[in-house]
Structure 1
Amino acid sequence: MTTTLNRLDLNLLRVFDAVMEERSVLRAGQRICLSQSAVSHALARLREVLGDELFIRTPSGMQPTARALTMAPLVREAWQSLEIAVGAPKFEPDKAARRFTIAVSDLVANVMVPRLLELIGNEAPLIEIAVRADSASNLAEQIDLGQIDAAVGTFSHKAARFQTRMLFDSDDVLLASSYHPLGPLSLKSLSHLSIVAISLNGENTDLLEGLVSERGLCRRSEMYDRAALERVLSDSGHGGRIVVLPHFLALSALLGQPELVAIVPRPLAVSMARTQPLEIHELPYTSRLDEVIALWHERTTNDPAQQWLLSMLLRATEHLREPANVSPVSAGSLTGKKSKEVTPALCRI
C-alpha cells in the first residue's frame, strides 16, 4: 500500500473524482479545467498504478468498475478533507463553541472585562472567556505554550515573538471621598495626605522601575508612577505617607476614611466615580502616561479566531480611548484628560 501511495499523483484522484461524478471524460475535463486528452492520459496513469480499468466506455457514458465504486466515496471524502485543510480557515463567532483565555491586570479587570463579557454574551453566546491574573510569574511561558490567547496590561518591552496592539493609555489621578472635600490640591497639601497606591508586588523595591521581567516579556507591576510621587513628596520636605496595597479591591472601603486618598490610573478612577461617592482630582504634578496593550504570540496573528478576539478587545476598550467625561466636583477636580507624553520604561530581558 505504501509503495502504491508513493507512486500516486494526488491530481489523478482529482481526475478520478470528476469522471466519477460526470461519467464523461469531456464533462470531467470542463469541470476541472483540463483538456479531454489530459483527462484520458490521467486515467491511463491511474489504471496503471492501481491495476484496474476503473471506468469502461459505454454508449451511456463511462461506467465505473466494482473497484471504482468502492473507491469513490472514500476518495470524495478524502478530497473534501484536503480542500478544507488547504483552504482559508473560517471563524463564525455566533456559531463557534470555543474557550479563550486572557490574562489581565487588576486595572483591566475593572475597566474592560465587564464590557467584553457583555459584547461576547450578545454576539457569541457559545464562546467562553476564562480570565486570569497577569501577575503570574510564568506569563510569557503560558503564552508561548498556547495556554493564554492574549494578555492585556502595561508591557514596556517584549521579545520579537510577541505581537501587540495598543488599546488605551492611562495616567494617574487622585481619588478621594466626596464626603470629605479636599479643596484645591497643591504639592503642599498633597504631602500632608495619607496616600493609598497599588503595586502588585507590594513594597518590593528591588524591581527595576517597578517592572517584572521574564522570558522576553517585561511588564509593569506598579499601578502608579512611584518615582514621580516620591520625587514631589521628597521635594516638599514633608515626605508624606504612602500605603501600598497589592490590588484594588480594598480601595472603596479605605476611601471612606477621611484621612485616606488614593492615586490610581485615570480609567479606574472614572469608573469608580460613576457608581460611588468619590471625587477625582488632577495631580499637582505630571505623572507617566502608560499604554495598556493587548499582547499575543506571533504564530496566532493570522488565525481568524485570534483576529476576532483582538477586535472584541478593541471594542471593549473603545470608551477608554475617548476623553474622560466627568463633571468637575470641586476645585482641582477632573475637568478633562491632560495632554502628556508617553515615557517609555527601560527593562533588561
Structure 2
Amino acid sequence: MAHIERVDLNLLAPLAALLEERHVSNAAAVAGMSQPAMSRALQRLRDALGDELLVRTPRGYRLTPRAERIQRRLRAVLPRLEGLFAPEEFDPAGAAEAFRVAGTDYTRVFAPAVFQRVFRESPRSTLHFRTWHDAIYEDLDRGVVDLVFFAGAEPLVALHTERLFGDRFVCVLSADHPLAELPGITLDAYLDATHVVIGTTDERQTAIEHRLEHLGARRRAGLTVPYHSLAAHSVLGTRLILTLPARLLAEQPPDAGLRVLPAPREIRRLDYLMAWHPRLDGDLGQRWLRDTVRAVTAELPEAAM
C-alpha cells in the first residue's frame, strides 16, 4: 500500500485515456476534461511514476516501454475496478443467498407464506429459521442471524426495527372457569387470577409483562411454557388464564371446552416487528428479504382492535 498512497487515484482515468489515445487533446475529450487539465494530469503522472510515458516523435506521441507495460496492466485491472465501484444488482432468480432468521412459534401466522415466496422467487437460496432464545438480539448484533421477528419492547442493542402488523390479545379459559361467562375480563380480575405464561425471554411473555410493569402491576404465573402451541390446551379443566394473540386462535378450530374473552383493555394491543443490524441496511439480498416479509404481512387481514 506504500506506493498507492503516493498516487491520486483520480489520475487513473486520465492515465488510461492518454495511453489509449496517445494524444493530449483526444484524451481530454475521452475523459471529459479540458486540454489544460489533461496536460496538468500528464505532468502529475510523469512526476508520480518517474517516467515520461508519452514521447513526441515526428509521427506523433509514442509510449515509453514502461507506459506500454502500464497499459497492459490497466486493461486487465480497470474493468475489475469498474465492477468494484459499479452499483450492485440483485437478481433473486439467480441468487444463492443463505438467509438466517429467528422468531417464536407465533411467526407461523405469516412465516410459511414468506418461505414459499422466497423459494418461488429465489429457488437457489436457503433459509435457516433459528430458535428464539434470551440472547437472540446479541446473535443479531454479532451477525449470527440476519433478521428477527418479535413483539414487545424494542431491543436495547442498536438495531433497526420496523412494525409489520398489529394483533390483539385475547384470554383463553376453561369453559368451567368462574370468569368464563363474563363478556370480558377487567384488569383487577386478571391480576387476581393465575396464568399460563409463554416464556419467550427470561421465561416472561415480554409483550404483556412490559405493559403490566408500566402500570405498576404483575401477574402470577402458575404454568410457564416455551411455545404458544403448547399453551393453547393447557387451561382445560384448570383455573388458569392464557393470554395470547388472536391470530393464533384463528388458525385452529374452536374447542367447546374453552372460552375466549377479550383481554383487559390495558394490554389488548400487540405490535409485531422485525429487526436487523444497521450494517445490513444496504445489502441487496437482505433488502429483498425484508421487502418479501413486508409484502407477505401486508396481505394479512387486519386484526380487530
TM-score range, shorter chain: 0.7 to 0.9
> What's the C-alpha RMSD, in Å, of the aligned pairs?
4.2
Aligned 1:136-175 pairs, distance under 5 A: 137-159=134-156, 161-173=158-170
Q: Deviations over 1:197-247 (max 9, x none)?
A: 533369x5xx6xx43xxxxxxxx487x98999x99x99xxxxxx9654221
Q: Deviations over 1:263-321 (max 9, x none)?
A: 43111112x23xx465784437434312110111223323333322221121222233x
From the superposition, tell whether residues 78 and 116 of structure 1 become closer, same or farther in structure 2 (CA, over 3 Å).
same
Structure-1 residue corresponding to 2:302? 323
From the superposition, tell whether residues 262 and 15 of structure 1 become closer, same or farther in structure 2 (CA, over 3 Å).
same
Structure-1 residue corresponding to 2:198? 198
Deviation at 1:156, TM superposition (A): 0.7
Q: Deviations over 1:178-202 (max 9, x none)?
A: xx999x95239999x9986533369
Q: Distance in 2 between matches of 1:152 and 1:17?
A: 50
Note if contact 2:99-2:126 (Cα within 8 Å) is conserved in structure 1.
Answer: yes
Aligned 1:13-24 pairs, distance under 5 A: 13-24=12-23
Note if contact 1:194-1:259 (Cα within 8 Å) is conserved in structure 2.
Answer: no
Whether 1:10 aligns to 2:5 is no
Structure 2 spans left out of the alignment, 5+ residues: none
Structure-1 residue corresponding to 2:131? 133
Aligned 1:1-349 pairs, distance under 5 A: 2=2, 4-57=3-56, 62-108=61-107, 110-135=108-133, 137-159=134-156, 161-173=158-170, 186-187=181-182, 198-200=198-200, 210-211=205-206, 220=207, 243-250=223-230, 254=233, 259=237, 263-270=243-250, 272-273=251-252, 276=253, 278=255, 281-283=260-262, 285-286=264-265, 287-320=267-300, 322-324=301-303, 337=304, 339=305
Deviation at 1:104, TM superposition (A): 0.8
Structure 1 spans left out of the alignment, 5+ residues: 212-219, 235-240, 325-336, 340-349
Read off the aligned partner of 1:147 and give its amino acid letter: V
Note if contact 2:243-2:263 (Cα within 8 Å) is conserved in structure 1.
Answer: no
TM-score, normalised with respect to structure 1? 0.67
TM-score, normalised with respect to structure 2? 0.75
Read off the aligned partner of 1:145 and give its amino acid letter: R
Q: Distance in 2 between matches of 1:16 and 1:133?
A: 55
Read off the aligned partner of 1:245 and give its amino acid letter: V
Q: Deviations over 1:81-109 (max 9, x none)?
A: 4444444443332332221211111201x
Aligned length: 292
Note if contact 2:176-2:237 (Cα within 8 Å) is conserved in structure 1.
Answer: no
* 3-state SS of 1:74 partner: helix
Note if contact 2:245-2:270 (Cα within 8 Å) is conserved in structure 1.
Answer: no
